[in-house]
Amino acid sequence: MNRPLRIIYAGTPDFSVPALDALLASEHEVVAVYTQPDRPAGRGRGFRASPVKEKALAFDVPVYQPESLKDEQALTELQALDADLMVVTAYGLLLPPAVLQAPRLGCINIHASLLPRWRGAAPIQRAILAGDTRTGITIMQMDEGLDTGDMLAVAECEIGPEDTGSTLHDRLMLLGAETLMSALPAIAEQTLHGIVQQDDVACYASKLSKAEAKIDWSDSAVQIERAIRAYNAWPVAYCRYEKNSKTANLRLWQADVLAEDAPEKSIPGKVVAESADGIDVVCGEGLLRITRLQPEGKRQMAVADFLNANSLLDQILG
């Protein structure tokens, strides 16, 4: 490599931290970090810095937090940094054409899927929901589209039958940092030739919402079990149950598919058995055993602990 690169790093959540860590430990110079503005958080609703901002400040890296990069002043500040490359990981703001063109080598993105599958905001969770058995990291040259740029490097990993959104997130954020650092020498020397994505096989990972985490018991047991894993740790799958003649939320953290065929003449959502091993619920197709849950206002617990003071037998969950 001819010389260390001057790099702008743009990211916001925990997922973005390992790649920044790797760059800070390398010979390259992180000349600035871009992250979203501090947001209200917690019960006190005080403003909280993003994990990326906290990391940057710990290393005395200048931090920029524009509301938008379309602002003329924000663009002028970014151009003045005279960067060779901008690395983007879960930043959360759109990069207009002028920003994409500002660094000498353009902007690259660390994306948590095997593009062109799962372009968009929630590739980790959508892969689990779809029953994918493999996913990975794609480093791509950014263009004006949504995750449509040429692919510079790809690394694969398995999605295990017990993987959750949380466990897969943690593996991929480390794999993202490794893949970036492996690809960076060739990116710097401009010897890496991008592969054009096949738009005709692309699919999109829409943003997660709290509303979609409510379980629909008319779905299959297989699909509901995937949803419980995908929505862990956010927004967390839940259903409604009756307690003291009132309905309350019940978060579902872990479950197993007992059978893929439902009992005859059964009602989706009906609890047909309960024991320390789990709570068995009829689904549109199959039977699901809930093994770990969280009543409203309580901690997460094993079903055995929940059943010490509660019973759901014969209830029809909402």
Residue ranges of E strands in the chain = 6-11, 29-34, 39-41, 46-48, 63-64, 85-89, 107-111, 119-120, 134-141, 151-158, 204-205, 238-243, 246-259, 271-275, 278-282, 287-295, 301-302
Specify the residue for token string 């449509």: 148
Specify the pLDDT at position 153.
Answer: 99
Going by pLDDT thresholds of 50, 70 and 90, the confidence category of residue 230 is very high
| DSSP state letter for 267 | P
Specify the pLDDT at position 46.
Answer: 82
Domain 6-205 top-level CATH class: alpha beta
Domain 6-205 identical in fold to domain 211-307: no
Residue ranges of E strands in 145-203 = 151-158
DSSP 280-304: EEE-SBSEEEEEEEEETTS--EEHH
| pLDDT of 267 above 90 | yes
19 Cβ contact partners less than 8 Å away, ≥ 6 residues apart? 9, 11, 87, 89, 110, 173, 176, 177, 180
Specify the pLDDT at position 265.
Answer: 78
Of the candidates 32, 42, 29, 39, the one whose C-alpha atom is nearest the C-alpha of residue 10 is 32
Of the candidates 116, 112, 110, the one whose C-alpha atom is nearest the C-alpha of residue 197 is 116
Q: What is the pTM of this model?
A: 0.95
Cβ contact 9:55 at 8 Å: no
Q: Which fold has domain 211-307?
A: Methionyl-tRNA Fmet Formyltransferase; Chain A, domain 2 (3.10.25)
Averaged pLDDT for residues 52-68: 98
Specify the pLDDT at position 42.
Answer: 73
Domain ranges in the chain? Answer: 6-205, 211-307
| pLDDT of 1 above 70 | no
**What mean pLDDT value characterizes the chain?**
96
| pLDDT of 280 above 70 | yes
| pLDDT of 173 above 90 | yes
